């Protein structure tokens, strides 16, 4: 049974990677310019970089378990159009939300937030961004545990809570 579950999960991640890497927009190059603001490997393909347009548009891809640091967009906003995979999005003081292909996330001016892939899934989204980003601290394990403790009541068991943390990738990239 363990082998069957492992094979199913491995096949799902392989299918997920293919959906991300063979998507409608190219995956882009390793995101070395912003690597200091990510835990894990991300990729960036700039889609719009016109100095006469006040927004940037790019396809951002996250390997499994990769997330960006907390950050704020000043004098602007960010819209995420999730095109493939699964991930997490969280605003400071709010519970994290699981995101998947087809989801749209709007982050308003001045809102501290982070986003990234689940531990077992690639994630790709189109980021439409205006304003100036302020990059902050990485999302720490302690922050993740505090924020997701709200799910304790839903799971009602220690194994259930631990499973939520595992799904969220809490035990990766500590």
pLDDT number for residue 143: 67
φ, ψ of residue 167 to 5 degrees: the values are -60, -35
- Rounded distance between C-alpha atoms, residue 32 and residue 108, angstroms: 26
Going from N- to C-terminal start, the domains of the chain cover 2-139
pLDDT number for residue 19: 82
- What number does CATH give the domain 2-139? 2.60.120.10
- Which tokens sit at 35? 């690597």
Query: pLDDT by residue (tens digit) across 9-44?
Result: 444 555 678 888 888 899 999 999 999 999 999 999
pLDDT number for residue 15: 60
pLDDT number for residue 132: 94
DSSP 8-state assignment for residue 55: -
Any idea how long the chain is? Answer: 174
Q: Are 64 and 120 in contact (CB under 8 A)?
A: yes
- Rounded distance between C-alpha atoms, residue 135 and residue 112, angstroms: 10
φ, ψ of residue 93 to 5 degrees: the values are 85, 0
pLDDT number for residue 17: 86
pLDDT number for residue 169: 55
Q: Is the pLDDT of residue 74 over 90?
A: yes
Band of pLDDT at residue 53, cut at 50, 70 and 90: very high
Q: Are 93 and 67 in contact (CB under 8 A)?
A: no
pLDDT number for residue 135: 98
pLDDT number for residue 127: 98
Q: Are 116 and 66 in contact (CB under 8 A)?
A: yes
Query: pLDDT by residue (tens digit) across 75-131?
Result: 999 999 999 999 999 999 888 899 999 999 999 999 999 999 988 899 999 999 999
pLDDT number for residue 16: 78
Place of tokens 């095109």: 83
Q: Are 69 and 114 in contact (CB under 8 A)?
A: yes
Smallest CA-to-CA distance from 127 within 88, 83, 71 is with 83
- Rounded distance between C-alpha atoms, residue 99 and residue 127, angstroms: 14
């Amino acid at each position: 049974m363990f082998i069957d579950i492992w094979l199913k999960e491995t096949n799902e991640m392989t299918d997920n990677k293919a959906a991300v890497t063979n998507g409608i927009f190219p995956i882009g190059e390793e995101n070395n310019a912003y690597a200091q603001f990510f835990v894990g490997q991300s990729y960036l393909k700039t889609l719009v970089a016109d100095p006469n347009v006040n927004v940037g548009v790019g396809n951002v891809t996250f390997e499994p378990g990769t997330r960006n640091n907390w950050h704020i967009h000043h004098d602007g906003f960010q819209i995420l159009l999730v095109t493939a995979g699964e991930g997490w999005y969280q605003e400071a003081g709010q519970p994290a939300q699981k995101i998947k292909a087809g989801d749209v996330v709007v982050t308003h001016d001045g809102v501290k937030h982070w986003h990234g892939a689940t531990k077992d899934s690639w994630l790709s989204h189109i980021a439409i961004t205006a304003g100036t980003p302020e990059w902050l601290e990485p999302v720490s394990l302690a922050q993740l545990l505090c924020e997701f403790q709200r799910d304790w009541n839903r799971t009602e068991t220690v194994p259930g809570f631990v499973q939520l943390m595992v799904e969220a990738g809490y035990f990766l990239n500590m």
